[in-house]
Structures are given as C-alpha cells and as structure tokens.
C-alpha cells in the first residue's frame, strides 16, 4: 500500500521524525526500513505533516529519506495457549526462539511469533452450534500444563454472535480454525485459538469489580503478618540500590500462592532474569508437583535492551495478566523496576522537547502510573467465578530518597507500601522492609488488634533504643530495657527471614500464625523475675538462639517440638507463673497435634489465646 | 567515495554541524583542521543538518575545515595482536608499534540474549578478606569500586587483576593521570601480565570527549575474546570521567538535564556498557571491575547512584580500607554456598556484630559508661579491623574464616554471636579464652 508510507526527516537518539502524506494514527506501529532491516517503532506524536516515532531498536544507520511503513495497528500482544513458561522481550518476541535462530545476541530488526505454531493442543469445546456468545465467552478449553486455559471469543469482537460452527474435541494448533461465529448481519468470523489485543488498553469487561479482601499469601512473614497484600491489590517496594528489592520479588515469585506469576524485568540486570530462567524449570512447586516455570511468564527488557521497548514491556506484562484473569485465575504481576519504565518515558519526553516536570519527568507521569496500577483488581466474571490481577512494583528512587516523583506518585495509588531501608540492609536484616515506615491497607491473616499491638511494641522499642543513645543504657529503666529487647527479639527472629535457609525461606500461613501467637504471648508477658539488664540481655540472646533454631526446623518435626518445649521452659523461669504461654503449650498435647493436624492445633491455640488476650487487651497500653 | 564537506555551520562545545545528505546516524567522520585530523561521530540528524561530536575536541576547528564521512561506525581491529598493545581512547596506537587494520569489529553492538547467559558460578580469589570472605567477587560480575580521589583504587584494581586467574586483561582508562598510566604499565610489565593485556588509555591531558569511546572499545574487544572462549577481566577507571563527558555533550546539545546537569539517559548509557559483563554458555566470560570516584564522597551523587543501580555491587574504598557497610557483592550467594558451610552465617554474623560495634563507638563518643557487652564489642571491632579489614592482609579464604572464628571466641560467649548452635559446635575454637 503505497499510501501508508512516510520518509525519515530527522534522527535524535531513539526518536525518528517522519514526513508523511497519509492517514496516521496515534500509537500505531510503523517500521523504519533500513536496507534489509525493518525497525519496529511506535507513533508517539503527530504534528501536522510529520510524526514522531520511538524506535524499539538501535537507530544507528538510519538516514534522512529512509522509508517508513505505517501499519495502522496499535502495539499489540498475541494471546492464546503457550504463553506460560515462556520468556519474552518487551515486545513479546520469544527469547528461546530468538536464540535458536540468531545465536548469542539480540540482533537488530528481527521479530518472531510469540506463540508456538506447531504445538497441538487438546481442545475441548464447551459451546454448541447455534448458541449465542459475545466477547470473552468461553468457546472451549485446552490444558496448558495444569492450567485450564479458556479459549475465549476475541475481545475486540464487540457484538453478539451465533456459533455457526465449532470443531469437535481433538488436537489443534493455534492457527487451525476452531469455530466460526456469525453476526446478525450474517457476516462470518472464523476463529483460531489466538487473537491480538493492544497492550495499552485495559481488558475491562467483567460483571463486577470487587474489593481486594482475600490475602495473597507470600510466605514472607513480615509481609503476611504485618504488611499484607491482597489478591487484586497493589503494592510497591521502593528502596535504594542493593537494599533487596529484586531478591524480595524473586522470593515472592517462588512462594506466593498465586495461580500464575508474571515477572516483568523492566530495565534491570539481565543476570537477575537468568537466575529465574535457569532455576525455575528445576524447582518443583510443592502445591502442584510441577516445575515453577509452568506457572510463570517472564517479560524481560533488561537495561541494555532498547529503551523504548522498556515502556512497552510493563504493558505487555499487565495485558497477559488480565488475559489469564479472564479465565478465573489469580495472577500476580511483579514489575522490577517501575522507575526504569518512568525513566524511559522521561527520555522520550526529553527528546520530544516537552515541558519537563519535576526531575525532568514528564508532567503526565502520575496519570500513567495510576493508570498502570489501576489495571490490578479482583473481578467477578460472567460465569460467576472470580479472577484477580495483583501488581507489585519496585521503585528505584534516585539517591534512595523517597521524596521523588515516581515514589510519590505511586504511593498515592497503591494499597501496601514496603519501604526498604539502607540501614536494615547494611545490618543484614533481611528482608530489609522497615517496619516503622511501611504500611498496608489490607486485612491479612493476623488479628488486627495483635498486629496493632506488635506495631506499637516495635515503635516503642525503637524509641527506647534512640533514647538510650542519648541518655545511655544506665539511665534507662529495666522495664524500658526489657521492652527494647522485646522489640529487638521480634525483629530478629520473626521479621527477619533467611531466604537461603531451606526451611526459613518460606513460612506457610498456619506456621506463621502459630509462631506469631507464641511470640505474641511471650512478648505480652510480664518478665518481673529478671533482676537486671545483664540478665535480661542474656535471656534475650538465649531466646533469640532458640527461635533462630526453630526457624530452620521443619514444621511439625520432632525438633520443632523440642525447641518449642525448650522455649517454654526458659520463658517460665522468668515470666510470672500463670503465664498464658505455659497454658497454651500445656493444654495442647504437642506431639500428636503438630504432626497430625496443624489445622486443628491452630484452631485450638487460637481459642485458648483469644480468651487470654481478650481478657488482657482491654488495658491495651500496657506495653 | 563519499563527498567531502567543507562548510561547518555551528561550532559549540565539542559539537559541530554540517549540511550533508546520505549520512547515517552513528556514522564516523574525519574533521581535518590546522591542528590535524580528528575523529567525529554523528549524534543527531535534523533534515539536512548533521551534528557531529568531535572526539579530539572542537578547539581550533574552523568553519571552512573539511569533514569527510567514513561510511562506517566506530570500530577496532581485533586479533591476538592486540595483546601487549597500548592505544588511546579511539584506538590509535600509543606505543611505537604499527596501527592494526585487519578484522575490524564494530563497537557498541547488540546485547546478549539472556537465554544464552548462564548463572555465574566461579569465584575469583583475591586474598583480600573483605572481598573473598564478605563480598566475594565472581567471574562475569560487574562491580565498581566507590571511592574518592586520593584513595589507592588503582593499586587495588591492579592487585585484583594480577591475582585473578584470567586469560586477558583489558584496561580502559578515562582521564587517567599520567602517573597512574605508567603505574599500570610498569606493574603489568614487571609481573609479566602485559603480554595478556590490552590497554585503551585516555589520559587527563587528552580532550574530555575522547574518553566517551573508551568503554565501548574496551568492551567490544573483551566480547570478542570472550566469544573465543577466553576469561576476560575489564578494568574501567574512572567511570565518573566518562559520565562527565556525556554530561558535557548533553549540555551542548541542550538536552533537559535530569539531575545535577546529567542527562536523563545516564542510567541507560551506563547500563548498556556494564551489561556487557557476561558468562556465555559454551564460551568465555567478561568480568568488569570499574572505579567510580564520588564527587564530595557523596554516594547519592548521580554517577555513583546510577552505577549502584546497575552494577552487581560495589566495594566502598575509604581511608584505605574496604568498608563492610555500603560494600556489597550481589553475586556472593552464588559462590559462598559452595566454599565452606560456615562461610555465609559467619559473614552475616560478623557484620551484624560489627554494626553493633559501630553503635557502641557512638555511645562511647557521647561519653556513656561502657557495659561489659560494650567492652566486648569494642575489642571485637578492633580485632576485626586489624585482622580482616586492613588492606595489607593477604590471606586465603580459609585462613580468613578461621581467623573470624578466633576473633569471635576472643570476644564473646557463643550465644552472644547469634550463630546457630550446630555451627558453633563444629567451629567454635577450643581453648581461646573470651577474657584474656
Ligand atoms: N532476603 C535476603 N536475604 C539475604 N540476602 C539478601 C536478601 N535480600 C537482599 N540480599 C542481598 O542484597 C543483595 C542486593 O539485593 P537486590 O539485588 O535485591 O537489591 P535491589 O534493591 O534490587 O537493588 P537494585 O535497585 O540495585 O536492583 C543481594 O544480592 C543479596 O546479596
Ligand atoms: Mg534490583
């Protein structure tokens, strides 16, 4: 089509200015033709007779007069079975296939189909000829690993249709026609198992958007217990370099109780993605018995890959997340780092010579950030099932200072804030989430009152610690000193978690509840029998030792039980005799309950504790 | 043959413009003036107007000087003949040997497909405990030394380079003082390492912009060696000079600065270089050890800040020592699991105690009474600094770990260390008294 051609007029970094004499659409895809190469680009601004394109590739070699081909299509991804387990670049080029075809390097100007064309899927139709369907309705299913993948009516078919034809159960590739729909005017639409959808447009048809109330268990104690995340919720992890954002996301991607995890490695190190790519196929997900990779999709546009594609990569990721959500699944999207995405927009904005906002970020930064996080949510679908997209994004603030545009704009829209601190990571207190600064608006798994109490204890303990720096230890009362030790103990044995210890790395929900209640009880106790600070410190060190050993003991093992007993005995030495803990531990006969049924025991522990605590929590300020 | 243009429009900073057609973005040109020939690179095209960044600086360039486009991009000749040679920042020989013209390779090539990378797994032993024990250096890592002018960072670079068992050393010098250049040359020569080294040296006396090409040239050469199966170590010193050259060009081009005058794409610029560090499946590897001097010793300055977000850690060199705080090797966990079982917990435990020691120091400075616990910490801090932190310490990892246990035993009861009981049983030294 000669009509859809333009010519390069100017080149500046990854932006190309193009003269045209045809219809050009904002955000449509165009190709800059450089000799044999076709460089994929996106129209980002149109002014009269010229368009500015951001090129998703190195612009080296482009010259004035080079031809540009406009496609009329918005930047889109291909949706269908075969996405799971794949590793894509920001534009959904499959990296395994790229490596096979082009070797060690990401060669310029190449694109490959996102979904495997030759794989046969066992298609099971769920509609009959003559039924009426509309966009998003399920036509049939295929098993994608353990996931029942719904083959849906393409989302851009906007009317109501009659199923004119549907294939019988059998094996089909994604390019085989599996159904034909007919609209009211008699037009027919032959369908395959895949279709395209523009990445910057949210998939937003469902019956109802629900409040994110169900916790998404990450098996990271400080998160689940104190700063929980909900299915369909949003959270952000800002922190200076090296504070542990990526490691935290890596652990989450392994341990979170989601059906599908999408990792968007956006403008960060390639090496970090490699760890996931190489390890996930080897790690067996204990819940399914299959490799973790089967529930994972990696979108990776690492820092040395073309900057413009970095922006696209987060949209690609969230679009895939929404697609699986439409099947009634819980999807977790982890984006590392949203700052790199914001910087990509800053680079573009600078080259377009737009009026810069704070720190040269574009003035519309906030709108884009909130638009992205708003694509999370828990929804009820037409068939009554629910699905969710949870979004967690890291932020890399310049100079580690949270008073900067990206952090501030993000904090306005997310439900949970995990503030990573340099002080904590320097002192190797991992995960380095600063409990005094972080917050969560979601409910979580621990009684809100207890959570509150612990938060107060941590604050108090911190204040005493600061005070001690001013007035010295000798000027601090024994009571205050014990409160300080209590906060410190909870921090060292509960909030800190060793990601490299086989057992400690992931704490299941019931174990968290159990250990939390146990600690809560100890910390709630009155240690009037400790005679001085020296003794208190020794005792605290001893308890810490016991709990650290407990943390790496298998849940329900004999060792676990032995250490628990040990803790009980030590505590009784110093705690007022009638302590709730001893009653808790005495009343539940540990040997059988722990091993047999953690659920039953938990329930029991809970009720016992409830009685005690309700009796005590009335005069709450007794910290 | 491409036409020669002899009408230079604007000359501003180290950027000139000419009216020319059929010029490709990124293409090289030669500008000939009274002062000789200078290489230049196309950094912007606007209609018929072409902007060129002049590597040898625009000083002395006149409006009627000749600009001849070369029809190719920045490149360098690659072969084993490079070994033992010394070049300037754009690849012209600095030594007396002839210019190399064969097997030209382009610099700044595409990035490696993550699929073809493997997880780094080989530790580089340096015999410096603050590195080996606390922040192990790993083959294919990219890591920077954060420091200030006057610190012995180049000595540290040279020491690691000579200790590391690599096949090829590539030195990229940017704004290197002439003394330092000679230091590297003589040290490599006297230790017999020159024959496996290539040097691209831009000195403090050369025009600033010329340093812009140094990382790309050094890394392009390193990449070729790595594809040939070689283990390559690239030393880049000092990357702050490279960033300042970028800043200068950005300001000349009137780009909106993002932070203290540095361009908004500083992160991407640095990342595209550092990400060349790689361990290839079925080929060699590239390890990058760089120097980043921090203006005003301020780690939040845009250069160290952006670097920290890109590299896989940093060694914080201050007062002639590698500080445990602020220093980090992000790849250490990939190797320290296979060294000795006490390596990881001991490393973490000792750092935690060192943090406590720092707090005690503060308390002491405020004049508070020292408790027994404080006194143990003070003793610990001193032993730690003398026995492990001092850069003159030259011991193996095993020796460092043993020394660590001994220091603990001389200062604390086992329980006070926060280390797990089974480790204490196995490693706690017998017969070392906590109180001498
Ligand atoms: N939970 C953890 N347990 C043990 N070590 C950790 C933990 N989290 C982080 N670390 C250590 O800190 C290093 C840096 O962590 P990470 O790469 O996650 O930082 P980051 O915040 O993502 O930094 P950047 O912003 O530069 O990407 C890790 O390589 C590891 O050595
Ligand atoms: Mg990170």
**Residue A254 pLDDT:** 93
**Cα B277 to ligand 1 centroid, rounded to whole Å:** 19
**Residue A296: pLDDT above 70?**
yes
- Residue B433, domain member (yes or no): no
Q: Which of residues 131-190 of B touch A (CB under 8 A)?
A: 140
> Are B302 and B353 in the same domain?
no
**Residue A81 pLDDT:** 97
Residues A447, A264 contacting (CB under 8 angstroms)? no
**Residue A571 pLDDT:** 86
**Residue A566: pLDDT above 50?**
yes
Residues near B236 by beta carbon (within 8 Å), at least 6 away in sequence: B172, B174, B214, B215, B218, B242, B273, B288, B289, B290, B291
Question: Per residue in A518-534, pLDDT tens?
Answer: 999 899 888 877 888 88
Alpha-carbon distance values, A234 to A383, A409, A417, A442 (Å): 25, 13, 9, 10
Q: What are phi and psi of A594, to 5 degrees?
A: -60, -45
Question: Per residue in B336-375, pLDDT tens?
Answer: 989 999 999 999 899 989 989 998 998 899 888 888 999 9
Q: How open is the CA angle A620-A539-A617, to the nearest 5 degrees? A: 10
**Residue B432: pLDDT above 80?**
no
**Residue B239 pLDDT:** 97
Question: Per residue in A3-48, pLDDT tens?
Answer: 689 999 999 999 999 999 889 999 999 999 999 999 999 999 999 8
> Are B191 and B227 in the same domain?
yes
Residues with CB under 5 A from ligand 2 (ion): A 245-246
Look-up of token digits 């991992």: A430
Q: In chain A, where are the structural domains located?
A: 2-74, 79-103+206-440, 121-193, 448-622
The ligand whose atoms approach the alpha carbon of B312 most closely is 1
> Are B325 and B197 in the same domain?
yes
Mean pLDDT, all residues of chain B: 92
Of the pLDDT bands very low, low, confident and very high (cuts 50, 70, 90), residue A579 is low
Question: Per residue in A453-468, pLDDT tens?
Answer: 999 999 999 999 999 8
- Within 8 A of B420 by CB-CB distance, chain A residues are 545, 548-549, 552
Beta pairing partners, B297: none
Percent pLDDT > 70 in chain A is 92
**Residue A583: pLDDT above 70?**
no
B295 touches chain A (CB under 8 A): no
The residue whose CB lies within 8 Å of the most ligand 1 atoms, and thus the one to mutate among A240, A247, A272, is A247
Of the pLDDT bands very low, low, confident and very high (cuts 50, 70, 90), residue A570 is confident
- Residue B436, domain member (yes or no): no
> Are B219 and B292 in the same domain?
yes
Nearest chain A residue to B51 by CA distance is A12
End position of a domain, from candidates B270, B304, B336: B336
Q: Which of A99, A269, A307 sits opposite B115 (nearest CB)?
A: A99
Question: Per residue in B303-321, pLDDT tens?
Answer: 999 999 999 999 999 999 9
Question: Per residue in A203-232, pLDDT tens?
Answer: 998 999 999 999 999 999 999 999 999 999
> Are B355 and B300 in the same domain?
no
- Residue B55, domain member (yes or no): yes
The DSSP secondary structure of A369-400, one letter per residue, reads: HHHHHTT-EEEE-TTS-EEEEEEEEEE--GGG
> Are B34 and B92 in the same domain?
no
Residues near B179 by beta carbon (within 8 Å), at least 6 away in sequence: none
CB spacing of B421 vs A275 below 8 angstroms: no
**Residue A602: pLDDT above 90?**
no
Q: How open is the CA angle A24-A29-A35, to the nearest 5 degrees? A: 105
Nearest chain A residue to B355 by CA distance is A427
> Are B84 and B12 in the same domain?
no
- Residue B432, domain member (yes or no): no
**Residue A584 pLDDT:** 52
Domain A448-622 has CATH 1.10.1140.10: yes
Percent pLDDT > 90 in chain A is 77
> Are B159 and B281 in the same domain?
yes
End position of a domain, from candidates B312, B336, B360: B336
Q: Which of B263, B268, B371 sits opposite A473 (nearest CB)?
A: B371
**Residue B112 pLDDT:** 93
**Residue B100's CATH number:** 3.40.50.12240
- Residue B82, domain member (yes or no): yes
Q: What is the largest CA-CA distance in chain B?
A: 84
Of the pLDDT bands very low, low, confident and very high (cuts 50, 70, 90), residue A2 is low
> Are B162 and B281 in the same domain?
yes
End position of a domain, from candidates B14, B39, B69: B69
Q: A121-193 is classed in which CATH architecture?
A: Beta Barrel (2.40)
User: pTM here?
Assistant: 0.91
Question: Per residue in B111-155, pLDDT tens?
Answer: 999 999 999 999 999 999 999 999 999 999 999 999 999 999 999
> Are B39 and B102 in the same domain?
no
For chain B, how many structural domains are there in total? Answer: 3
**Residue A587: pLDDT above 60?**
no
Q: A338-351 vs B266-274: helix axis angle to the nearest 10? A: 120
CB spacing of A64 vs B255 below 8 angstroms: no
**Residue A325: pLDDT above 60?**
yes
Q: Which of B114, B264, B272 sits opposite A347 (nearest CB)?
A: B264
> Are B29 and B90 in the same domain?
no
The CATH number of A2-74 is 2.40.10.170
Give me the CATH topology for the region A79-103+206-440: Rossmann fold (3.40.50)
> Are B230 and B369 in the same domain?
no
Lowest mean pLDDT among A408-412, A469-473, B101-105: A469-473
**Residue A255 pLDDT:** 93
Domain hosting residue B317, numbered range: 75-336
What mean pLDDT do residues B87-107 have?
90
**Residue B22's CATH number:** 2.40.10.170
């Amino acid at each position: 089509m000669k009509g859809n051609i333009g010519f390069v007029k100017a080149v500046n970094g990854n932006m190309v200015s193009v003269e045209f004499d045809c219809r050009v659409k904002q955000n449509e895809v165009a190709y800059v033709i450089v000799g044999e190469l076709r460089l994929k680009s996106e129209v980002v601004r149109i002014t009269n007779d010229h368009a500015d394109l951001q090129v998703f590739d190195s612009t080296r070699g482009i010259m004035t007069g080079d031809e540009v081909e406009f496609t009329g299509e918005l930047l889109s991804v291909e949706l269908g079975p075969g996405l799971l387990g794949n590793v894509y670049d920001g534009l959904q080029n499959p990296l395994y296939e790229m490596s096979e075809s082009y070797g060690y390097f990401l060669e310029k100007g190449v694109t490959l189909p996102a979904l495997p064309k030759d794989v046969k899927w066992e298609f099971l139709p769920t509609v009959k000829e003559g039924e009426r369907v509309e966009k998003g309705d399920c036509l049939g299913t295929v098993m994608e690993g353990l996931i029942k993948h719904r083959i849906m009516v393409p989302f851009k078919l906007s009317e109501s249709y009659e199923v004119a034809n549907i294939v019988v159960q059998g094996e089909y590739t994604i390019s085989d026609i599996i159904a034909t729909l007919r609209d009211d005017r008699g037009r027919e639409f032959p369908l395959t198992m895949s279709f395209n959808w523009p990445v910057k447009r949210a998939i937003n048809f469902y019956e109802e958007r629900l409040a994110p109330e169900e916790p998404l268990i990450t098996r990271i104690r400080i998160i689940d217990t104190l700063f929980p995340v909900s299915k369909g919720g949003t959270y952000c992890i800002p922190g200076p370099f090296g504070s542990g954002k990526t490691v935290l996301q890596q652990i989450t991607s392994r341990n979170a109780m989601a059906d599908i995890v999408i990792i968007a490695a956006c403008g960060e190190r390639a090496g970090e993605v490699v760890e996931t790519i190489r390890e996930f196929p080897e790690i067996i997900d204990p819940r399914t018995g299959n490799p973790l990779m089967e529930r994972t999709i990696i979108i990776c546009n690492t820092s040395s890959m073309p900057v413009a594609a970095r922006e696209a990569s987060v949209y690609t990721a969230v679009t895939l997340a929404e697609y699986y959500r439409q099947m009634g699944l819980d999807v977790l999207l982890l984006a590392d780092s949203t700052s790199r995405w914001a910087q990509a927009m800053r680079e573009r904005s600078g080259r377009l010579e737009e009026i810069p906002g704070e720190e040269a970020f574009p003035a519309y930064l906030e709108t884009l950030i909130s638009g992205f996080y708003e694509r999370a949510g828990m929804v009820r679908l037409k068939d009554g099932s629910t699905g969710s997209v949870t979004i967690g994004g890291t932020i890399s603030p310049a100079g580690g200072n949270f008073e900067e545009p990206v952090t501030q704009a993000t904090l306005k829209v997310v439900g949970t804030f995990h503030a990573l601190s340099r002080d904590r990571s320097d002192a190797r207190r991992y995960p380095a989430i600063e409990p005094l600064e972080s917050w969560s608006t979601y409910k979580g798994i621990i009684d809100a009152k207890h959570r509150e109490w612990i938060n107060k204890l941590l604050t108090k303990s911190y204040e005493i610690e600061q005070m001690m720096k001013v007035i010295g230890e000798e000027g601090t009362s024994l009571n205050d000193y014990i409160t300080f030790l209590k906060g410190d103990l909870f921090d060292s044995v509960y909030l800190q978690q060793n990601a490299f210890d086989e057992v400690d790395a992931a704490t299941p929900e019931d174990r968290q509840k159990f250990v939390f209640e146990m600690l809560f009880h100890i910390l709630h106790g009155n240690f009037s029998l400790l005679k001085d600070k020296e003794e208190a410190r020794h005792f605290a060190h001893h308890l810490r030792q016991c709990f650290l050993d407990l943390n790496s003991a298998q849940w329900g093992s004999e060792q676990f039980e032995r250490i628990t007993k040990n803790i009980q005995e030590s505590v009784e030495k110093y705690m007022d005799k009638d302590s709730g803990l001893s009653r808790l531990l005495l009343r539940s006969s540990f040997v059988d309950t722990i091993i047999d049924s953690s659920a039953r025991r938990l329930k029991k522990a809970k009720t016992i504790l409830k009685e005690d605590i309700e009796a005590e929590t009335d005069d709450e300020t007794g910290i | 043959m491409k036409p020669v243009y002899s009408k230079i429009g604007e000359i501003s900073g180290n950027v000139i413009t000419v009216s020319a057609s059929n010029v490709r973005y990124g293409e090289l040109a030669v500008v000939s003036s009274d002062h000789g020939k200078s290489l230049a690179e196309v950094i912007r095209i606007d209609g018929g107007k072409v902007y060129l960044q002049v590597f040898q600086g625009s000083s002395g360039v006149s409006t009627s000087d000749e600009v001849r486009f070369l029809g190719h991009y920045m490149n360098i000749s690659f072969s084993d003949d490079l070994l033992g040679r010394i070049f300037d920042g754009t690849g012209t020989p600095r030594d007396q040997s002839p210019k190399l013209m064969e097997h030209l390779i382009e610099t700044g090539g595409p990035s490696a497909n993550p699929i073809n990378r493997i997880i780094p797994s080989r530790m580089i032993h340096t015999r410096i405990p603050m590195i080996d024990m606390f922040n192990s250096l790993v083959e294919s890592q990219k890591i920077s030394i954060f420091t200030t002018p006057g610190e012995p960072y180049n000595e540290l670079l040279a020491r690691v380079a000579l200790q590391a068992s690599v096949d090829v050393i590539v030195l990229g010098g940017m704004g290197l003082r002439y003394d330092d250049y000679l230091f590297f040359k003589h040290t490599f020569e006297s230790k017999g390492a020159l024959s496996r080294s290539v040097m691209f040296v831009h000195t403090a006396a050369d025009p600033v912009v010329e340093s812009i090409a140094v990382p790309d040239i050094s890394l392009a050469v390193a990449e070729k060696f790595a594809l040939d199966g070689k283990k390559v170590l690239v030393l880049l010193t000092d990357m702050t000079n490279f960033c300042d050259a970028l800043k200068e060009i950005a300001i000349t081009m009137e780009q909106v600065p993002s932070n203290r005058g540095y361009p908004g794409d500083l992160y991407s610029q640095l990342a595209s270089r550092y990400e060349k560090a790689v361990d290839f499946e079925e080929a060699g590897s590239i390890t990058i050890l760089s120097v980043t001097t921090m203006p005003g010793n301020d780690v939040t300055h845009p250069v160290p800040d952006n670097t920290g977000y890109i590299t896989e850690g940093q060694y914080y060199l201050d007062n002639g020592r590698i500080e445990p705080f602020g220093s980090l090797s992000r790849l250490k966990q990939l190797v320290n699991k296979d060294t000795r079982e006490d390596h990881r917990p001991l490393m973490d435990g000792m750092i935690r105690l060192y943090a406590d020691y720092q707090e005690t120091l503060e308390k002491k400075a405020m004049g508070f009474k020292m408790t027994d616990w404080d006194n143990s910490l003070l003793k610990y801090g001193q032993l730690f600094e003398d026995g492990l932190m001092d850069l003159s310490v030259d011991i193996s990892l095993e020796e460092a770990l043993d020394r660590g246990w001994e220091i603990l035993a001389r200062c604390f009861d086992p329980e006070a260390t926060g280390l797990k009981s089974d480790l204490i049983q196995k490693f706690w030294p017998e017969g070392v008294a906590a109180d001498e």
